[in-house]
Amino acid sequence: MISPRLTSSVALVEAVALALAAVAFAVDIPRTWEKAALDTLELPLANREFSPIHIDETAYYRIPERVIYKSYPVYAPGREPAGYMERLKTVEPEVAFDPSVLSTQQQWVSAGEIVFNAPTSFHPLFFTAQDLQDPTFFKKTGMPVAKDGTIPFARWVVRRKGVVELGSMGCATCHTRVLKDGTVVPGGQGNNPNDYEGALLLQALAKVIGSEKMLEQVHRFAREFELPWLPDDLNRLAGSMSLDQLIGAGEAIPPGVTARANTSILLPPQIPDLIGIRERRFLDHTGLVRHRNIGDLMRYVSLAQDVFSADRYGSVTNVNSAPPGARYSDNQLYALALYLYSLRPPPNPNHFDASAARGRLLFEKLECARCHTPPLYTNNKLVPVEGFEFPAGRADIVSAQIGLDPRYTLDTHKGTGYYKVPSLKGVWYRGPFGHNGSAATLEDWFDPARLDSGYVPTGFKGYDGKTRSIPGHPFGLQLSPSEREDLIAFLKTL
Ligand code: HEC
Ligand code: HEC
């Protein structure tokens, strides 16, 4: 037993540590756009000479900083407190991010949460304000609602008194998961059905502006995904697809997968879980961006959210290239990165029982830890795909090819020729699985039938809605049904 004296001295040490953390938080904010750091931030693309070239430091710091206004929760139909919208119409606009009042680490983290939730767009991309007040929209899309009746993917914002705007496209729109019981997991693999909603919005807009005009706009938009230097670029197909086909492509993308900037509506990626990001050495499924320190995470976020729009690719300028309208300030990015580092998984309801214990033995026997090495359950390395010549003898590359579908990493603007070994922590609240979320569940990921060309993927279907195999990653496919159950029981405890 621990003596009372010892516990009190432990308590004292903890109290001192807490007090120190409260006062002595040394804010050391890296400069986001710094040439030396940027020069080595990214891996070259598989087509080296078309690797992205970003705007320079001067141009970067000329982009106006984003002003983050106070925002308010959006409620599902029937869940709004009485008089809520009337009250919002009377509140004064308030700037919600003010670095001059931040001193403790906790205050910086809380300010980062504000940045995480802050909308960056007030144009409807997936849903309109009317949609979120319409019960049939929720029935149709399955948009999840939190326990307290809120919708964490969108916020009401007051930028001018009397005008309440619906905003979205902050980090929370894609990186928030609502569990079945309504628990909100900030940073979890998002599960708003973004692209399905986007497809419905296209249909509705086509009725207003006419199908022809709509198709013209979608074709123009889709051109930004093209890689003109690839002779057989799949993305070019979007330019000849009909409106119905493009809507079908959007509808085929399930919650947890989304056609982010620099990816593609035909080749969308799985939304990664951000919980545990601090330990990840590479960012993106293709490992495009190095994560050497907090400054790199700030660089990643600024690029992915805003600055990509001005990128050039070798000698090629993207057809939709435009100077970014706004960027996050270095302070905002720093707070946001601290918040991401602070994210923790929800309490795991799965206990380590006899089945999980057998599953752990299988995990060892099958040598999953070669790549999914405990305690992170990733070795933080990249696996090259077939058809891509990769440099030999590099410590951060697994010298094995595992037959994964190479298209996402060869035929998008993030394509390095590699896939990252993902961590298996938190798989119990994640899904769909694989870099493009083709397998809805772990059961499907370990189902050998997924290798057949006649397979119908249970997650991302594929843009043409036909049957398709989910190739590669043959590990754990030879198990008996009860062994598979045990392996999955173990994985769900991580
Ligand atoms: C429209 C949806 C969307 C929005 C908005 C969004 N993300 Fe993402 N994010 C994604 C997708 C999809 C990926 C995966 C891209 C890939 O792997 O190629 C991703 C990847 C990431 C990664 C890399 C994680 C990893 O493990 O590889 C980080 C970090 C990240 N996002 C942070 C943010 C932050 C912070 C914001 C807000 C400023 C944000 N994202 C806004 C969809 C989104
Ligand atoms: C040679 C390296 C390697 C080995 C060995 C390996 N994996 Fe993987 N694993 C990967 C890579 C790479 C991915 C990402 C696949 C993708 O991007 O589509 C992955 C993905 C997964 C996923 C999906 C995770 C997600 O978030 O989508 C699970 C689950 C998984 N592996 C479990 C296992 C298990 C269990 C074993 C052993 C039976 C194993 N892996 C063996 C490299 C490996």
Mutational pocket test of ligand 2: of 371, 380, 397, 405, the residue with most ligand atoms within 8 Å of the beta carbon: 371
Q: Is residue 45 part of a domain?
A: yes
Domain boundary among 315, 342, 369: 342
Q: What length does the chain have?
A: 494
Cα atoms found within 13 Å of the Cα of residue 16, Cβ hemisphere only: 5
Nearest protein Cα to ligand 2, atom 30: 424
Q: Is residue 410 part of a domain?
A: no
Helical axes 354-365 vs 481-491, angle rounded to 10°: 100
Total domains present in the chain: 2
Q: Is the CB of 257 under 6 A from ligand 2?
A: no
Distance CA 185, CA 176 (A): 6
Distance CA 440, CA 443 (A): 8
Closest ligand 2 atom number to CA of residue 379: 2
Considering every ligand atom shown, identify the ligand nearest to the alpha carbon of residue 289 and give its number. 1
Q: Is the CB of 277 under 6 A from ligand 1?
A: yes
Spatial contact of 97 and 336, defined as CB atoms under 8 Å apart: no
Pair (242, 353) in one structural domain: no
Nearest protein Cα to ligand 1, atom 43: 174
Pair (113, 226) in one structural domain: yes
Nearest protein Cα to ligand 1, atom 41: 171
Pair (292, 369) in one structural domain: no
Q: Is residue 40 part of a domain?
A: yes
Tens digits of residue pLDDT in 404-444 = 999 999 999 999 999 999 999 999 999 999 999 999 999 99
Tens digits of residue pLDDT in 76-135 = 999 999 999 999 999 999 999 999 999 999 999 999 999 999 999 999 889 999 999 999
Pair (291, 332) in one structural domain: yes
Domain boundary among 317, 342, 367: 342
| CA 185 to centroid of ligand 2, rounded, Å | 23
Tens digits of residue pLDDT in 207-265 = 999 999 999 999 998 998 999 999 999 999 999 999 999 999 999 999 999 999 999 99
Pair (367, 323) in one structural domain: no
| CA 271 to centroid of ligand 1, rounded, Å | 7
What domain range is 429 assigned to?
Answer: 347-380+421-494
Pair (159, 106) in one structural domain: yes
Spatial contact of 160 and 154, defined as CB atoms under 8 Å apart: no
Pair (200, 271) in one structural domain: yes
Q: Is the CB of 257 under 6 A from ligand 1?
A: no
Closest ligand 1 atom number to CA of residue 422: 26
Pair (355, 315) in one structural domain: no
Distance CA 375, CA 182 (A): 29
